[in-house]
Structure 1
Amino acid sequence: MLDTPHKSKSYADGKILQEITGGIGVITFNNPDKRNAMSLAMWEGLGLALTELRDDPDVRVVILTGAGDKAFVSGADISQFEKERHNAQASEEYSRRSAAQRALLADYPKPTIACIRGFCLGGGMLVAMLADIRIAADDSQFGIPAAKLGIAYGYDGLKHLVSLVGPSWARLLMYTGMRIDASEALRIGLVERVLPDGELWNATMEIARAISHNAPLAIKAAKITIAQVLKDSGDRDMAAIKDIGIACMDSEDFREGRRAFMEKRKPQFQGR
């Protein structure tokens, strides 16, 4: 796999950028003048970018990142609130129009990594929490200021927050609207790794490359099984776990993995 960009596109009037580098898809929130605040058009552009990368067989993993050095995503674009979220009915319509994109990221079949520098607030926290893995710069800041704006943070966001940091920290963050720094975020389990800003991108790419070189079906099996583990026992799809396990054991990749081990070489996995 080459590490040079070979496909690039933009959506939402250039505020969502997409490129593919050696089997790694990168989606950039490109609204730096507003600290990458998310508009409804950006949510819809995110959905288009995610769908294209999902359907590209050459893409093994997707990184989400923010343009510039000030923010990953600083939240929703509050300048749109007066027009699009001024009351309960308008807010419901806004949520309905962005729900498909949130669900797409939540149930994404390929591994996703949030590469976070600067502000990761509100809706940005939701995007980061929907990713599989969060890697942050040591100067990043996290928070959900919903209580300071008088809005209710949705069920999906709070479900993910509680699953990552537990109910007590979720309450503290939500009740106060406080911001925490990267070291605190690491300590409570909100992010998985914290690195100096200058090392963040290379470290993120290193993890993405490691994932992209592993067997896609085995990674899919882990992703499916972990998602089922997090559900209540009565809601788990054990058949899906069994099916992906069988697919792995019957795959050409499993045979290639065995051969590569015996031949003391790196395996070349094809995802089938």
Structure 2
Amino acid sequence: MSEFVRLEVEDGVATLRLDRPKMNALDVQVQEEIRAAAREATDRDDVRAVVLYGGERLFAAGADVKEMADMSHTDMVKRSGDLISALSAVARIPKPVVAAITGYALGGGCELALCADVRFAADDATLGQPEVLLGIIPGAGGTQRLSRLVGPSRAKDLIFTGRFVKADEALAIGLVDRLFPRDEVYREAVAWASQFSHAASYAVRAAKEAIDRGLEVDLETGLEIERQQFAALFATEDRAIGMGSFVENGPGKARFVGR
């Protein structure tokens, strides 16, 4: 049983919920529990989308600094891949993932949010990569995912200075996608995720893989990835259902009613 990370599934939506007092710090145990929850969300057929959530008070305030402060260079060489692999397991979930951000999402917490496909935030949320203020840099994808999301200049500004970003600025620069009052963020994230409960799951997975893999390669290679995913869908029931609905109902009225 996980102590600090739970996967709660209802009507096709899994909530990957962090619950480690007081600040949802991502220590070694939490990292392993995140990795396990991400694998479970990936493997379960009854999970069609995932919500990342840290609770009403905050998302996650980052790695456990007290734990890291006692680590030597040798220790960190051995352990530096643990947080990366935990967060990458979330990024690799082949289903839509939305982060519901309340309070603080700092350091490793911000990096966890970056692993989602979209980010909904409370209008009083605060995000940032303040690692430089501790004499280190983001070590779990911040320098890579943040620059891909908001552009290298903005990422450098945030990472070099370590400054905190309020919700309105985060929305303006594309760090988050939508803002809501704090008590509505989780509900809105679940509503977004729920639309995939009966969607064309193979098509959604293929689209996510094509986009994510395409960001890592040149355009020509990306187009080939897209072509392969596109062609593969013609062997699925989803394609038969979707195109059958289009033929029967016409454009604008077709509805996918899948498994």
Gaps of 5+ in 1: 1-9
Change over 3 Å in CA distance of 1:58–1:129 after alignment to 2: same
Select which of 109, 115, 118 maps to 1:130. Answer: 115
Which residue of the partner structure matches residue 5 of structure 2?
16
Match among 41, 50, 56 for residue 29 of structure 2 = 41
Cα deviation 1:150-180 (Å, max 9, x = unaligned): 1122373211111111122112111211111
Query: 2: CA distance between counterparts of 1:107 and 1:36?
Result: 22
Q: Which amino acid is the alignment partner of residue 80 of structure 1?
A: E
Distance in 2 (alpha carbons) for counterparts of 1:100 and 1:144: 19
CA change 1:91–1:131 in 2 (3 A) is same
Cα distance in 2 between the residues matched to 1:231 and 1:158: 15
Q: Is 1:26 aligned to residue 15 of structure 2?
A: yes
Tell me the equivalent position of 2:184: 199
Aligned residues: 255
- Using structure 2 for the length normalisation, give the TM-score: 0.91
Q: Are 1:217 and 1:247, in contact at CA under 8 Å, matched by a contact in 2? A: no
Tell me whether 1:59 sits opposite 2:40 in the alignment: no
1:171 is aligned, of 156, 168, 177, to: 156
> Distance between the aligned counterparts of 2:115 and 2:254, measured in 1?
35
Quote the residue 1:248 is aligned against: 233
**2:196 counterpart SS class:** helix
SS at match of 1:213: coil
Q: 1:194, 1:107 → 2: CA distance?
A: 25
Q: Which segment is superposed worse, 104-113 or 236-245?
A: 236-245
Distance 1:76 1:156 in 2: 13
42-51 vs 244-253, greater mean Cα deviation: 244-253
- 1:165–1:44 distance in 2 versus 1, CA, 3 Å: same
Q: What SS does structure 2 have at the residue aligned with 1:79?
A: helix
For 1:171-190, what aligned pairs fall within 5 Å after superposition? Answer: 171-190=156-175
Counterpart-to-counterpart distance in 2, 1:75 and 1:186: 21
* Cα distance in 2 between the residues matched to 1:36 and 1:236: 39
- 2:59 is matched with 72
Post-superposition CA distance 1:32-57 (Å, at most 9, x none):
x3211111100100111111111111
Q: Which moved more, 1:36-45 or 1:99-108?
A: 99-108
Report the more deviating stretch, 187-196 or 147-156.
147-156
1:146–1:153 Cα contact (<8 Å) kept: yes
- The answer on whether the counterparts of 1:228 and 1:236 sit within 8 Å (CA) in structure 2 is no
Deviation, structure 1 residue 243: 3.0
Moved more, 258-267 or 132-141: 258-267
2 CA distance for matches of 1:122 and 1:195? 22
Give the TM-score, by structure 1 length: 0.87
Greater length-normalized contact order (CA 8 Å, ≥ 6 residues apart): 2
**CA gap 1:38/1:232 in 2 versus in 1, 3 angstroms:** same
Deviation at 1:227, TM superposition (A): 1.4
Q: Any unmatched runs of 5+ in structure 2?
A: none
Q: Distance in 1 between matches of 2:50 and 2:17?
A: 11
CA RMSD of aligned residues (A): 2.0
Compute the displacement of 1:62 (Å).
Answer: 1.0
Q: 1:106 deviation in Å?
A: 2.6
Amino acid at match of 2:104: F
Task: Work out whether 1:93 is the aligned partner of 2:81.
Answer: no
